[in-house]
Amino acid sequence: MALKVYINGTLYDKDDAKISVYDHGLLYGDGVFEGIRSYGGKVFRLQEPLDRLWDSAKALWLEIPTSKPQMARNIQRMLETNGIEDGYVRVLVTRGCGTLGLDPNRCTDPQVIIIADTVSLYPKELYEKGLAIITVSTVRSHPAALSPRIKSLNYLNNILAKIEGLQAGCIEALMLNHKGEVAECTGDNIFLVRRGRILTPPNEAGILEGITRDAVMTLAREAGYDMRETPLTKHDVYIADECFLTGTAAEVVPVVKVDSRTIGDGTPGPVTGELMQRFHELTRS
Ligand code: PMP
Protein backbone atom coordinates (compact mmCIF):
# COMPACT_ATOMS: atom_id res chain seq x y z
CA MET A 1 0.00 0.00 0.00
CA ALA A 2 1.33 3.44 -0.97
CA LEU A 3 2.28 5.77 1.84
CA LYS A 4 -0.42 8.38 2.46
CA VAL A 5 0.46 12.05 2.79
CA TYR A 6 -1.83 14.63 4.39
CA ILE A 7 -2.35 17.95 2.62
CA ASN A 8 -4.94 20.31 4.06
CA GLY A 9 -7.31 17.62 5.26
CA THR A 10 -7.03 15.27 2.29
CA LEU A 11 -4.91 12.12 2.13
CA TYR A 12 -2.96 11.48 -1.08
CA ASP A 13 -0.82 8.59 -2.23
CA LYS A 14 2.84 9.57 -1.85
CA ASP A 15 3.34 9.99 -5.62
CA ASP A 16 0.25 12.20 -5.95
CA ALA A 17 1.05 14.42 -2.96
CA LYS A 18 1.91 17.70 -4.69
CA ILE A 19 1.66 21.42 -4.14
CA SER A 20 1.51 24.31 -6.59
CA VAL A 21 4.59 25.81 -8.19
CA TYR A 22 3.12 29.16 -7.11
CA ASP A 23 3.35 28.21 -3.45
CA HIS A 24 5.71 30.62 -1.73
CA GLY A 25 7.06 27.67 0.22
CA LEU A 26 8.67 26.64 -3.07
CA LEU A 27 9.22 30.07 -4.59
CA TYR A 28 10.87 31.60 -1.51
CA GLY A 29 11.24 28.95 1.18
CA ASP A 30 8.46 30.88 2.90
CA GLY A 31 7.08 28.47 5.46
CA VAL A 32 7.96 26.44 8.53
CA PHE A 33 8.45 22.80 9.43
CA GLU A 34 9.00 20.34 12.22
CA GLY A 35 10.46 16.88 12.57
CA ILE A 36 8.85 14.67 15.18
CA ARG A 37 9.80 11.13 16.25
CA SER A 38 7.46 8.31 17.04
CA TYR A 39 8.40 5.37 19.18
CA GLY A 40 6.06 2.36 19.30
CA GLY A 41 3.43 4.27 17.31
CA LYS A 42 3.35 7.18 19.77
CA VAL A 43 4.83 10.60 19.16
CA PHE A 44 7.66 11.69 21.44
CA ARG A 45 7.03 15.02 23.21
CA LEU A 46 4.49 16.31 20.75
CA GLN A 47 3.77 19.53 22.57
CA GLU A 48 7.31 20.92 22.17
CA PRO A 49 7.58 20.60 18.38
CA LEU A 50 4.04 21.92 18.03
CA ASP A 51 4.89 24.93 20.16
CA ARG A 52 8.08 25.49 18.15
CA LEU A 53 6.13 25.20 14.88
CA TRP A 54 3.63 27.81 16.04
CA ASP A 55 6.44 30.06 17.30
CA SER A 56 8.33 29.75 14.00
CA ALA A 57 5.14 30.58 12.10
CA LYS A 58 4.45 33.56 14.34
CA ALA A 59 7.97 34.86 13.71
CA LEU A 60 7.20 34.72 9.97
CA TRP A 61 3.78 36.33 10.43
CA LEU A 62 2.22 33.13 9.10
CA GLU A 63 -1.06 31.96 10.55
CA ILE A 64 -1.39 28.18 10.75
CA PRO A 65 -4.93 27.36 9.58
CA THR A 66 -5.61 24.75 12.24
CA SER A 67 -5.32 24.34 16.01
CA LYS A 68 -2.58 22.53 17.92
CA PRO A 69 -4.98 19.80 19.20
CA GLN A 70 -6.27 19.26 15.66
CA MET A 71 -2.71 19.08 14.31
CA ALA A 72 -1.83 16.59 17.07
CA ARG A 73 -4.79 14.38 16.10
CA ASN A 74 -3.84 14.51 12.43
CA ILE A 75 -0.22 13.59 13.18
CA GLN A 76 -1.34 10.57 15.21
CA ARG A 77 -3.79 9.64 12.47
CA MET A 78 -1.05 9.71 9.82
CA LEU A 79 1.13 7.37 11.89
CA GLU A 80 -1.80 4.97 12.26
CA THR A 81 -2.88 5.23 8.61
CA ASN A 82 0.64 4.40 7.46
CA GLY A 83 1.20 1.74 10.13
CA ILE A 84 4.33 3.46 11.42
CA GLU A 85 5.64 2.48 14.84
CA ASP A 86 9.21 3.78 15.09
CA GLY A 87 9.26 6.59 12.58
CA TYR A 88 9.57 10.23 11.77
CA VAL A 89 6.84 12.75 11.05
CA ARG A 90 7.58 15.83 8.97
CA VAL A 91 5.04 18.63 9.39
CA LEU A 92 5.18 21.60 7.01
CA VAL A 93 3.16 24.75 6.75
CA THR A 94 3.78 26.75 3.60
CA ARG A 95 2.71 30.33 2.92
CA GLY A 96 0.46 29.05 0.13
CA CYS A 97 -0.07 30.19 -3.46
CA GLY A 98 0.57 33.77 -4.37
CA THR A 99 1.95 35.89 -7.16
CA LEU A 100 5.55 35.72 -8.31
CA GLY A 101 6.30 38.68 -6.03
CA LEU A 102 7.42 38.36 -2.42
CA ASP A 103 4.30 39.84 -0.83
CA PRO A 104 2.97 37.29 1.66
CA ASN A 105 -0.33 39.19 1.88
CA ARG A 106 -1.18 37.90 -1.57
CA CYS A 107 -1.00 34.31 -0.39
CA THR A 108 -4.31 33.09 0.89
CA ASP A 109 -4.11 29.34 1.28
CA PRO A 110 -1.33 28.09 3.58
CA GLN A 111 -0.75 24.39 3.00
CA VAL A 112 -0.52 22.07 5.98
CA ILE A 113 1.39 18.94 5.02
CA ILE A 114 2.04 15.89 7.20
CA ILE A 115 4.38 13.15 6.05
CA ALA A 116 4.79 10.11 8.31
CA ASP A 117 7.65 7.91 7.17
CA THR A 118 10.41 5.69 8.43
CA VAL A 119 13.36 7.37 10.10
CA SER A 120 16.80 7.58 8.53
CA LEU A 121 19.45 7.59 11.21
CA TYR A 122 23.20 7.74 10.92
CA PRO A 123 24.67 4.30 10.19
CA LYS A 124 24.62 2.06 13.30
CA GLU A 125 28.41 1.75 13.49
CA LEU A 126 28.73 5.52 14.00
CA TYR A 127 26.80 5.19 17.26
CA GLU A 128 29.40 2.66 18.39
CA LYS A 129 32.55 4.22 16.96
CA GLY A 130 31.61 7.90 16.82
CA LEU A 131 31.47 10.52 14.08
CA ALA A 132 34.22 12.61 12.52
CA ILE A 133 33.07 16.16 11.81
CA ILE A 134 34.72 19.34 10.61
CA THR A 135 34.25 23.02 11.30
CA VAL A 136 33.09 24.70 8.10
CA SER A 137 33.57 28.25 6.87
CA THR A 138 29.84 28.85 6.34
CA VAL A 139 28.85 30.99 9.31
CA ARG A 140 25.53 30.22 11.02
CA SER A 141 22.92 32.82 10.04
CA HIS A 142 23.19 36.03 12.03
CA PRO A 143 20.23 36.00 14.43
CA ALA A 144 19.37 39.55 13.39
CA ALA A 145 19.20 38.47 9.73
CA LEU A 146 17.35 35.17 9.92
CA SER A 147 17.08 33.77 13.41
CA PRO A 148 18.25 30.16 13.68
CA ARG A 149 15.39 29.78 16.19
CA ILE A 150 12.96 29.84 13.27
CA LYS A 151 12.69 26.37 11.75
CA SER A 152 11.87 27.66 8.32
CA LEU A 153 11.69 26.01 4.91
CA ASN A 154 14.79 27.99 3.95
CA TYR A 155 17.61 25.71 5.11
CA LEU A 156 20.20 27.00 2.68
CA ASN A 157 22.54 28.21 5.41
CA ASN A 158 22.69 24.66 6.75
CA ILE A 159 22.81 23.10 3.29
CA LEU A 160 25.82 25.20 2.31
CA ALA A 161 27.56 24.03 5.48
CA LYS A 162 26.51 20.44 4.80
CA ILE A 163 28.01 20.61 1.30
CA GLU A 164 31.29 21.83 2.75
CA GLY A 165 31.25 18.98 5.25
CA LEU A 166 30.39 16.36 2.66
CA GLN A 167 33.13 17.57 0.35
CA ALA A 168 35.57 17.07 3.19
CA GLY A 169 34.21 13.57 3.74
CA CYS A 170 32.13 14.35 6.85
CA ILE A 171 28.40 13.67 7.13
CA GLU A 172 27.90 16.38 9.74
CA ALA A 173 29.60 19.78 10.01
CA LEU A 174 30.13 22.23 12.85
CA MET A 175 29.04 25.82 12.24
CA LEU A 176 30.39 28.82 14.14
CA ASN A 177 28.34 31.96 14.65
CA HIS A 178 29.20 35.49 13.48
CA LYS A 179 31.27 35.98 16.66
CA GLY A 180 33.36 32.89 15.94
CA GLU A 181 31.73 30.92 18.74
CA VAL A 182 30.49 27.37 18.38
CA ALA A 183 26.84 27.42 17.33
CA GLU A 184 25.59 24.01 16.20
CA CYS A 185 25.85 21.44 13.45
CA THR A 186 23.81 21.51 10.24
CA GLY A 187 20.97 19.46 11.71
CA ASP A 188 22.06 18.67 15.26
CA ASN A 189 22.99 20.51 18.46
CA ILE A 190 26.43 20.01 19.98
CA PHE A 191 27.56 19.11 23.52
CA LEU A 192 31.02 18.85 25.09
CA VAL A 193 32.16 17.07 28.23
CA ARG A 194 35.13 18.53 30.11
CA ARG A 195 36.29 17.33 33.53
CA GLY A 196 32.88 15.83 34.31
CA ARG A 197 31.01 18.99 33.36
CA ILE A 198 28.64 19.01 30.37
CA LEU A 199 28.62 22.10 28.19
CA THR A 200 26.45 23.26 25.31
CA PRO A 201 26.13 26.64 23.56
CA PRO A 202 23.29 28.87 24.85
CA ASN A 203 20.39 30.04 22.68
CA GLU A 204 22.17 33.39 22.31
CA ALA A 205 24.87 31.61 20.31
CA GLY A 206 22.32 31.53 17.46
CA ILE A 207 21.05 27.98 17.46
CA LEU A 208 17.85 26.06 16.97
CA GLU A 209 16.50 25.28 20.42
CA GLY A 210 16.60 21.55 19.89
CA ILE A 211 13.99 19.39 21.55
CA THR A 212 16.49 16.56 21.95
CA ARG A 213 18.98 19.09 23.37
CA ASP A 214 16.42 20.07 25.97
CA ALA A 215 15.60 16.44 26.84
CA VAL A 216 19.32 15.58 27.15
CA MET A 217 20.02 18.62 29.38
CA THR A 218 17.23 17.45 31.71
CA LEU A 219 18.56 13.88 31.70
CA ALA A 220 22.08 15.14 32.45
CA ARG A 221 20.86 17.20 35.41
CA GLU A 222 18.75 14.30 36.71
CA ALA A 223 21.87 12.12 36.53
CA GLY A 224 23.64 14.64 38.77
CA TYR A 225 25.91 16.25 36.17
CA ASP A 226 26.91 19.89 36.23
CA MET A 227 25.13 20.84 32.98
CA ARG A 228 25.87 24.33 31.66
CA GLU A 229 24.76 26.42 28.70
CA THR A 230 27.79 28.56 27.99
CA PRO A 231 29.51 30.21 25.00
CA LEU A 232 32.09 27.83 23.52
CA THR A 233 34.95 28.25 21.08
CA LYS A 234 36.76 25.85 18.80
CA HIS A 235 39.44 25.70 21.47
CA ASP A 236 36.88 24.25 23.92
CA VAL A 237 36.00 21.60 21.33
CA TYR A 238 39.63 20.63 20.76
CA ILE A 239 40.38 20.20 24.48
CA ALA A 240 37.09 18.46 25.34
CA ASP A 241 37.17 14.98 26.85
CA GLU A 242 34.02 14.03 24.95
CA CYS A 243 31.74 15.48 22.31
CA PHE A 244 28.30 14.41 21.14
CA LEU A 245 25.44 15.66 18.99
CA THR A 246 21.69 15.59 19.57
CA GLY A 247 18.77 15.72 17.18
CA THR A 248 15.32 14.28 16.60
CA ALA A 249 16.50 11.85 13.95
CA ALA A 250 20.04 11.29 15.27
CA GLU A 251 19.06 11.11 18.97
CA VAL A 252 22.44 11.15 20.80
CA VAL A 253 25.49 10.41 18.64
CA PRO A 254 29.13 10.49 19.77
CA VAL A 255 31.77 12.59 17.99
CA VAL A 256 35.37 11.37 18.18
CA LYS A 257 37.10 13.65 15.69
CA VAL A 258 36.75 17.34 14.91
CA ASP A 259 38.90 18.91 12.18
CA SER A 260 41.00 15.71 12.11
CA ARG A 261 41.84 16.21 15.77
CA THR A 262 41.08 13.37 18.15
CA ILE A 263 38.58 14.20 20.88
CA GLY A 264 39.47 12.59 24.22
CA ASP A 265 40.93 9.18 23.55
CA GLY A 266 39.22 8.86 20.17
CA THR A 267 36.41 6.60 21.34
CA PRO A 268 32.90 7.51 22.58
CA GLY A 269 33.29 8.53 26.23
CA PRO A 270 31.48 7.27 29.34
CA VAL A 271 29.30 10.36 29.85
CA THR A 272 28.13 10.20 26.24
CA GLY A 273 27.43 6.49 26.69
CA GLU A 274 25.42 7.10 29.82
CA LEU A 275 23.32 9.81 28.18
CA MET A 276 22.76 7.65 25.09
CA GLN A 277 21.49 4.91 27.41
CA ARG A 278 19.29 7.26 29.41
CA PHE A 279 17.83 8.78 26.25
CA HIS A 280 17.10 5.29 24.95
CA GLU A 281 15.25 4.44 28.16
CA LEU A 282 13.33 7.73 28.07
CA THR A 283 12.07 7.15 24.54
CA ARG A 284 11.50 3.40 24.64
CA SER A 285 9.98 2.85 28.10
N1 PMP B 1 19.84 22.35 14.84
C2 PMP B 1 19.33 22.35 13.60
C3 PMP B 1 19.78 23.38 12.64
C4 PMP B 1 18.37 21.39 13.24
O5 PMP B 1 17.84 21.40 12.00
C6 PMP B 1 17.99 20.40 14.18
C7 PMP B 1 17.06 19.31 13.80
N8 PMP B 1 15.82 19.73 13.49
C9 PMP B 1 18.55 20.45 15.46
C10 PMP B 1 19.48 21.43 15.76
C11 PMP B 1 18.15 19.47 16.52
O12 PMP B 1 16.87 19.81 17.02
P13 PMP B 1 15.83 18.72 17.51
O14 PMP B 1 16.45 18.02 18.67
O15 PMP B 1 14.63 19.49 17.91
O16 PMP B 1 15.59 17.81 16.37
pLDDT score, position 1: 77
234 noted as active-site residue: no
Whether 84 and 210 map to the same domain: the answer is: no
Cα(210) to centroid of ligand 1, in Å? Answer: 5
Say whether both 80 and 105 belong to one domain. Answer: yes
Please check whether residues 142 and 257 belong to one and the same domain. Answer: yes
**Rounded distance from Cα 29 to ligand 1 centre (Å):** 18
Ligand 1 contacts CB of residue 141 (under 6 A): no
Last residue of a domain, one of 117, 152, 167: 117
Dihedrals φ, ψ of 110, to 5°? -55, 140
Choose one of 82, 117, 152: the last residue of a domain.
117
Entry pTM = 0.97
- The total domain count for the chain is 2
**Is 285 a residue whose pLDDT tops 80?**
no
Say whether both 52 and 191 belong to one domain.
no
DSSP alpha helices (H): ranges in the chain? Answer: 24-28, 47-59, 68-81, 124-129, 156-167, 211-222, 234-238, 270-284
**Which range of residues forms the domain containing residue 69?**
4-117
Q: Which of 67, 89, 117 is the last residue of a domain?
A: 117
Which residue is closest in CA terms to ligand 1's atom 5? 187
Section 76-84 average pLDDT: 96
Tell me, yes or no, whether 35 and 166 share the same domain: no
State the amino acid at position 267 in one-letter form.
Answer: T
- CATH number at 49 reads 3.30.470.10
Find the catalytic residue in 151, 179, 234, 257. 151
Q: What is the pLDDT of residues 195-230, one digit of tens each?
A: 999 999 999 999 999 999 999 999 999 999 999 999
Phi, psi dihedrals of residue 36, rounded to the nearest 5°: -130, 135
What is the CATH classification number for the domain harbouring 171? Answer: 3.20.10.10
Ligand 1 centre to CA of 7 (Å) is 24
